Amino acid sequence: MFRLDGKKAAVTGSGGAIGKAVAHLFAQQGAEVHVIDLDEDAANATAQEIRNQNGKAVVQVCNVTSQIDVKEIFSKINGVDILVNSAGVSHVGNAENTSEDEFDKLYNVNVKGVYNCIRAAIPFMKQKNNGVILNLASIANNVGLSDRFAYSMSKGAVYAMTLSVAKDYIRDGIRCNCISPARVHTPFVDGFIKKNYPGKEQEMFEKLSKSQPIGRMAKPEEIAYLILYLCSDEASFITGCDYPIDGGFINLNN
């Protein structure tokens, strides 16, 4: 089950924690993985790790905020069966202390970047009358989170784009879903704690972990498992859905 043999998968942000976990898992399941990231060194590291395990990986250095760059990369790949939009940036701030530059950055990466990749992938999927798009949204598009104004804006847009694409292309054999993770233990989290709570790293790590009712943060691999299912043929009846993967955060945090 959940094999991806003979399929091309493009995973944006696959130099980072969640994207890397997805790229590794897809390769293990037989896909030819196109490792898309702005950071060439990080992309090469992910691809080399995959090749060391006898997987198929191709590095594509790309700025997802540039429609020209994205179009060129997807033309070079010459069609994908699966697109995972994992590239994204985070931000801490409310409506008053979020600067215009910060807001624009969140929009350009988290919203326009997703749009650019979807727009580039769909024509190839339509030719095959088959394809899967999986977007990373967030619990932030389901509940209010303190000091996540711009981030919530961007992930709310991802959720809305998911529904729109699923509706518009269902007759073209294209499925589109999104997932909404709670806090995932990534280098960003460690860096955020170290920067903002020096000397209290362990205390804050435990506090953030316990904000999920299950009592811990997710592992990138756990996020990847859900993504694999939704991108596999076993999920062929699923489209236009958002899947919380949140340790009980949305429904049990009361």
**What does the pLDDT read at residue 147?**
94
**What does the pLDDT read at residue 253?**
80
How far, in Å, CA of 181 to CA of 78, rounded?
A: 31
How far, in Å, CA of 34 to CA of 4, rounded?
A: 14
For residue 244, what is the enclosing H or E element? Answer: strand 242-245
Q: How confident is the model at residue 192 (pLDDT cuts 50, 70, 90)?
A: confident
Q: How confident is the model at residue 195 (pLDDT cuts 50, 70, 90)?
A: confident
> 190: which residues sit within 8 A by CB, 6+ positions away?
none
Q: Calculate mean pLDDT across residues 178-184.
A: 97
All domains of the chain, ordered by start, with CATH?
Answer: 8-182+219-248 (3.40.50.720), 184-217 (no CATH)
Q: Across all residues in the chain, what is the average pLDDT?
A: 97
Of 131, 138, 150, nearest to 84 (Cα)? 131
Q: 78 pLDDT exceeds 70?
A: yes
**What does the pLDDT read at residue 254?**
64
Inter-CA distances, 15 with 20, 195, 229, 232, Å: 6, 22, 21, 22
Lowest mean pLDDT: which of 100-104, 155-159, 195-199? 195-199
**To the nearest whole percent, how much of the chain has pLDDT over 70?**
100
**205-245 pLDDT, tens digit each:** 999 999 999 999 999 999 999 999 999 999 999 999 999 99
**120-161 pLDDT, tens digit each:** 999 999 999 999 999 999 999 999 999 999 999 999 999 999
**21-75 pLDDT, tens digit each:** 999 999 999 999 999 999 999 999 999 999 999 999 999 999 999 999 999 999 9
Catalytic positions, written as ranges: 151
> 161: which residues sit within 8 A by CB, 6+ positions away?
111, 114, 115, 118, 135
**What does the pLDDT read at residue 196?**
84
Of 20, 38, 24, 28, nearest to 3 (Cα)? 28
Q: Calculate mean pLDDT across residues 91-97.
A: 96
